[in-house]
């Protein structure tokens, strides 16, 4: 399990201190001949990223690559602002998400439906990424960063535009949100299943793929590096399946939406009972409101019920 001294070789973990709280959103810097940042986080926390880089005698201008697991604002929102300061950076993203970097209006509008007037406070100002700066991938590609080599894997489940990146140097798998969220030093995982792209069947296959990679480390955006890979994936799979089953039962039984949401919220709250108040607050900020996860799972089951 994660400890303060156990870190994958040549990888820096930067805490973005999202909304002033630690262990919510992590960005990772891959050191070497061609420095790269994996999931730079939301635009609102870019000043914190700059300050963290400065502690390691680095600047945004030193980065050669931005590597994205997926395009959700808490992972990729700062990308356009980074390009404004360093136009030479190359951005690597799933082909299904690239258009929303070039024109983030639909992405921002979709997020606004979830976050309302809190959108800019939470995620900052998202600006377009120049098309010429973007390299698209679909999975199976190898990215050479000087002496460091990454492999990209198509990884739908949490989102259809999700990639998992495997670093051959450190043995680390940058998994974005596909293995949920977790707090350092705790053996506990939690799903995050916001709309619109949750796909449980694909998600199970992605978890199988991650285990087959046999990474030495799982690198979570929310939050940190973990080397108890088998435990983590197994625990997350079981919790995700329980949440999904609970939502499906609510739909099948014809309960009101309020009753369905309350049932999932009660279950999710009970899972946090062993955490202290500050830990619970951090987990909730990591994963978002339970209602958002309920919406994502409802959308999945409703799509499954429709005729092909």
| pLDDT tens, residue by residue, 164-204 | 999 998 999 999 999 999 999 888 999 999 988 999 999 99
Q: What is the pLDDT of residue 3?
A: 37
pLDDT for 82 equals 98
For 43-60, write each residue's pLDDT tens digit. Answer: 999 999 999 999 999 999
Q: How confident is the model at residue 7 (pLDDT cuts 50, 70, 90)?
A: low
Predicted model pTM? 0.93
Rounded mean pLDDT of 232-251? 97
Give one word for 292, left, alpha or beta, with left for phi > 0 and alpha for psi -120 to 50: alpha
Cα 67-27-210 angle, rounded to 5 deg: 65
Instruction: Return the CA Rg of the chain.
Output: 18
| The two structure tokens encoding residue 94 | 């799933």
Could you give the domains of the chain? 11-305 (3.60.15.10)
Q: In whole angstroms, what is the distance from residue 11 CA to residue 67 CA?
A: 13
């Amino acid at each position: 399990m994660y400890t303060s001294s156990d870190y994958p070789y040549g990888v820096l973990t930067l805490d973005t201190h999202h909304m002033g709280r630690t262990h919510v959103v992590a960005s990772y810097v891959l050191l070497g001949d061609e420095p790269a940042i994996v999931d730079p986080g939301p635009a609102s926390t870019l000043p914190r990223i700059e300050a963290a880089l400065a502690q390691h005698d680095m600047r945004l201008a030193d980065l050669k690559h931005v590597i994205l697991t997926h395009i959700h604002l808490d992972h990729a929102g700062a990308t356009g602002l980074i390009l404004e300061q360093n136009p030479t950076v190359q951005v690597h993203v799933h082909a299904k998400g690239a258009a929303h970097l070039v024109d983030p209006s639909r992405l921002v509008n979709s997020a606004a439906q979830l976050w309302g007037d809190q959108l800019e406070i939470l995620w900052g100002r998202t600006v377009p990424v120049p098309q010429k700066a973007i390299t698209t991938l679909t999975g199976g590609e190898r990215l050479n960063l000087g002496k460091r080599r990454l492999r990209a894997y198509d990884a739908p489940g949490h989102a259809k535009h999700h990639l998992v990146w495997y670093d051959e140097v450190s043995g680390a798998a940058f998994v974005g949100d596909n293995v949920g969220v977790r707090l350092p030093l705790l053996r506990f995982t939690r799903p995050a299943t916001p709309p619109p792209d949750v796909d449980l069947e694909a998600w199970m296959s992605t978890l199988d793929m991650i285990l087959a990679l046999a990474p030495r480390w799982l690198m979570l955006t929310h939050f940190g590096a973990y080397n108890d890979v088998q435990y983590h994936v197994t625990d997350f799979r079981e919790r995700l399946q329980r949440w999904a089953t609970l939502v499906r039962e609510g739909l099948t039984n014809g309960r009101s939406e309020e009753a369905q949401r309350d049932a999932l919220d009660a279950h999710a709250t009970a899972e946090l009972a062993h955490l202290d108040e500050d830990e619970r607050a951090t987990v909730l900020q990591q994963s978002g409101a339970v209602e958002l996860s309920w919406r994502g799972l409802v959308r999945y089951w409703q799509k499954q019920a429709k005729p092909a």
